[in-house]
Chain A
């Protein structure tokens, strides 16, 4: 591990990669602050740039920096404007915005920055401990288990989608898998479902799909229903926190960093769930007096979601780097970028290309530090970006989505596909269908079919499912994950109905 650390330090501390971290964090903070643009859109827009750099470590470092910056920027707009730029920072506005209204905006931003820094750093340390352990376990996996593991991951994403959403998330996942079968697969040298269209021969472009699923609908929603971006033009001052305040939030940060990290590791959960859960847990275990304060500007209520969401972002890298299976939309986009750079994340990544793995971990530390020292003094100035008029902003967002799709494929048909998919995605978003499962399904589709085919060939049929206990076990878990939410909802309904009858 020490050797790996040294390799990572060496790679991450090259001038180029340091610049990448700083650039990534700044870009992420700037764009993450704009309400309506989540980390997925920002990373999707940055991918063409990252891919054309050609160096996988630098690309991943840049994108990870953007990811952190986006989460941090999102909390800034949550606190200052009560307009979260990112779903993962919604919980930060519960207590952050009341603090800003009381004239304590500077203090709130400082707490957010410190909590994010601690959450991210603790998360990175845990990642350093758990990832190597997990990937040595993953090395004994066969293609049958990989297939089963992907089924578990996809089912978990559907299961965590929320009440009444499981079937919709399932549909989206399956649609993603279906779209992945279009084009010429690696295992069979024949085009499938291309309907004779030459442009579909190589399948749908992953960047095009990512842009169409996230950036385009978000921009269109901004056009349809303009959000009020006018914040108070108040001065941001008094960034300091007192010793007693630091003592009060320290245990909160510690607990929520741990909890957030482990929630982030689970597929389908992630920063949003981690932050809400962190907020709820801290409110429940607080003393009665402190509970009164929650929602009215409690420093604990701000520190909890902030440390949890950053730790969860780090945690979501664990399945990506060790198993090659993304658990969230953002890590799915990162996986797509890595594959485009000819790197296959998975248990062998740490053995074959340790410099990438360790450089990413090192850059997480550096990124957190950069966010802390660069952004704290700059916050008052960075917040000015919120004043960019949307008349200019929206055409530029649309232009960057178009550019991203065009640079990736150098093909104007791709732009028409982008608009077409974007319209479909907007309709789906209207009807409350989750879009991230589609992209995750699309990215995992090819790998899933390859592993399924390999297992079928090795066992000459479907027999691998019951001949390999681990595969069977994983598939049973997947089935339980999908069925459980609707079973529980049904039981709760029955119970509620019974109570009503009793009255």
Chain B
């Protein structure tokens, strides 16, 4: 089974769960006066769930034949690509999200930029360090001073 049909199967599951929530769990705690309304909070989701189940089934059962074409990036040849680098960068993004508040913007950002470039194979530290520091300071200045959105610059234990 091709990837697009696997995904259709997963999405069918999503639609079924969504439909279950809309059809069977939402109406129970509806206030009595709202029951007289022609439209309930669950009406629109109910329609969507049915349409979703129909269209995912069409792809899952392969009713619509699509011509095979050569995609730009082919998942069947994933092994030839830099999967490790991509996964590392995603992991870095998650770590950045977790560290942004506790460690402060300046440290997290420069670390993210340096480690990101390092992951991609950059080894010129004398270029990487200044670029990352200048970018972190510059963006912090723009966001905090020009746009006026507060971002904690330094780690929480040092101050502000």
Contacts and interface: CB of A to CB of B under 8 A. Distances in A.
A associates with B: yes
Interface string B77-103: 010011101100110111011101100
Given A163-B67, A223-B82, A398 B89 contact: yes
A501 to B, nearest CB: 19
Given A224-B73, A394-B120, A185 B139 contact: no
B93 A395 contact: no
A415 B89 contact: no
B21 A399 contact: no
Contacts of B113: 395-396, 399
A200 interface: no
A349 interface: no
A391 B127 CA distance: 12
Contacts of B139: 403
A290 interface: no
Contacts of B3: 427, 430-431
Given A178-B52, A224-B73, A419 B135 contact: no
Contacts, number: 173
Most buried by A among B45, B63, B64, B98: B64
Most buried by B among A187, A220, A395, A427: A395
Interface string A220-239: 11011110000000000000
Contacts of A163: 66-67
Contacts of A419: 90, 93-94, 97
B85 to A, nearest CB: 5
A192 B135 contact: no
Contacts of A226: 82
A164 B83 contact: no
Contact of A407 (B38, B52, B82, B147): B147
A166 interface: yes
B56 to A, nearest CB: 6
Nearest to B97: A415
Nearest to B90: A419
B40 to A, nearest CB: 8
Most buried by B among A167, A168, A224, A398: A167
A4 B101 CA distance: 48
B153 to A, nearest CB: 14
Interface in A470-503: 486, 489, 493
A134 interface: no
B82 A224 contact: yes
A428 interface: yes
Contacts of B18: 178, 193
Interface in B92-150: 92-94, 96-98, 100-101, 109, 112-113, 116-117, 120-122, 131, 135, 139, 143, 147-150
25 contacts: A164-B67, A167-B55, A167-B64, A170-B55, A175-B14, A178-B49, A178-B52, A181-B45, A185-B41, A187-B41, A193-B18, A223-B82, A223-B86, A224-B83, A224-B86, A226-B82, A399-B109, A402-B96, A406-B100, A407-B147, A410-B149, A431-B2, A431-B7, A452-B44, A453-B39
Given A165-B66, A412-B100, 4 more contacts: A52-B147, A167-B55, A171-B55, A193-B21
Closest 10 CB pairs of A and B: A164-B66, A395-B116, A415-B97, A431-B4, A391-B122, A224-B81, A188-B41, A430-B75, A456-B39, A170-B55
